[in-house]
Amino acid sequence: MNDTPPADYLTHFALLHTRDLDESRQVMGELWGKHEVAIKGHIPFETIVNHVEIGQTGLTFVRCPTPLRVRCTLGGDRFTVLLHEEGRSLHQINAESTVAGPGSAVIVVPGQDVRMDSEAVRLLALEYPTTRVEQALRIRGLPSARFEQWARHRDLTSPAGAALRSLAQWAARELNQPDTPLASGPTAEHLEQTLFSLFLDCLAEPFPSAAPPDPMLGRIKLSDCEHWIAANLQESLSVDTLATLVGVSPRAVQLAFRHYHHCTPMAFVRRARLHSIRQELLARGEVTTVTEVAMKFRFFHMGHFADAYRREFGERPAETIRRLHRRVVPGGTHLPD
């Protein structure tokens, strides 16, 4: 039996480690809004908070072994998604009750009256700008009013919920590494876009009919979309980006790709990127750094990339390069297969 406690996340981005409740009130008040907090029981107070900004997205890790009772009117200008790793919290949001735990996320927004009774917890929090979320909700045909009535919690065992939690955990672990490319640059941009898209998928998941049925995207417009994807495979892409490009709803784009290609739009993008990576590996041969090429085409999890490449082509990227190298004799002549 392994009794080693789980490692903390985001250790290179320490914000707070304190046993002083007043200091915690001040720092967390600046991050999430002024609040009242009281200790429940007799466990001495301690908390660790690490925080990093990835583009427009905030990612926070909190470890607090002290059960607490908290009340606040959420400040700032961000939607906050609480993803518990351990422990549970009972939330009352504008008098609507819900429970957060490892299988259920809670979402809070600025201006809400929030009361929370928590056990000892370890959690990750994702924070998204309010204006960005509200704009995305309108595009997807989802309501933005009375948010706590329809979106105060989300199931983290659902496909979208599990994907969001898994990516947030992976990102938080990878950001523990020194000199990680996830903190800035193109890789961070793609990570941030993916986290946001998965968050929107979580919001939309229980509402397949939230918007009126969309007419399916026509074949000509879909062809324009496909050509645009092919020319922008190194850019950050999402269903919302494609929908804005062709002037329809995200659902219309999804319906068209499922009808004509029998896959989701992002599966189409992923496959196109894999084929472009393979072409570049074959063109550059043994001088190629697989990681460099993969990240150029927006794959930043090398294990997932290698598995996807193998499923698509029946071999791993390194095997593609080795096989190409075996076909080349001294002088640069290629031998036939």
Number of domains in the chain: 2
Residue 211 confidence (pLDDT): 43
Task: Tell me the pLDDT band of 82, cut-offs 50, 70 and 90.
Answer: very high
Q: Is residue 139 included in any domain, yes or no?
A: yes
pTM of the predicted model as reported, rounded to 2 decimal places = 0.76
287-328 pLDDT per residue, tens: 567 888 888 888 877 888 889 999 999 999 988 888 776 654
Estimate to the nearest angstrom the gap between the alpha carbon of 203 and the chain centroid.
Answer: 13
Mean pLDDT of all residues in 118-139:
91
The residue segments making up the domain with residue 265 are 219-326
d(CA 253, CA 268): 12
Least reliable range by pLDDT among 129-143, 160-174, 220-234: 129-143
Whether residues 285 and 140 fall in one domain: no
3-state class (DSSP) for residue 252: helix
Whether residues 200 and 240 fall in one domain: no
pLDDT at 14 over 50: yes
Whether residues 170 and 230 fall in one domain: no
Q: Which of 66, 71, 107, 115 is nearest to 90 (CA)?
A: 115
Least reliable range by pLDDT among 18-27, 46-55, 56-65, 138-147: 138-147
Residue 287 confidence (pLDDT): 55
Q: Is residue 52 included in any domain, yes or no?
A: yes
- Percent above pLDDT 70 for the chain: 91
Query: Sheet harboring 35-39: ordered strands across?
Result: 35-39, 68-73, 113-118, 89-93, 96-100
CATH number reported for the structural domain that contains residue 155 in this entry: 2.60.120.10
Residue 286 confidence (pLDDT): 58
147, 177, 204: which is the final residue of a domain? 204
Residue 216 confidence (pLDDT): 63
Whether residues 182 and 233 fall in one domain: no
Whether residues 52 and 147 fall in one domain: yes
Mean pLDDT of all residues in 272-279:
94
Query: Sheet harboring 121-129: ordered strands across?
Result: 14-18, 47-54, 57-64, 121-129, 78-86, 104-108, 153-155
Q: Is residue 3 included in any domain, yes or no?
A: no
pLDDT at 229 over 70: yes
154-204 pLDDT per residue, tens: 889 988 899 899 989 999 998 988 878 777 777 788 888 889 988 988 888
Q: Is residue 210 included in any domain, yes or no?
A: no
Q: Is residue 2 included in any domain, yes or no?
A: no
Whether residues 177 and 33 fall in one domain: yes
User: What would the two tokens of residue 262 be?
Assistant: 């029998």
204, 239, 258: which is the final residue of a domain? 204
Whether residues 106 and 57 fall in one domain: yes
CATH number reported for the structural domain that contains residue 301 in this entry: 1.10.10.60
Q: Is residue 336 included in any domain, yes or no?
A: no
d(CA 112, CA 116): 12
Whether residues 169 and 245 fall in one domain: no
Q: Output 86 or 143, whichever has higher pLDDT.
A: 86
Average pLDDT, the chain: 84
Mean pLDDT of all residues in 21-40:
84
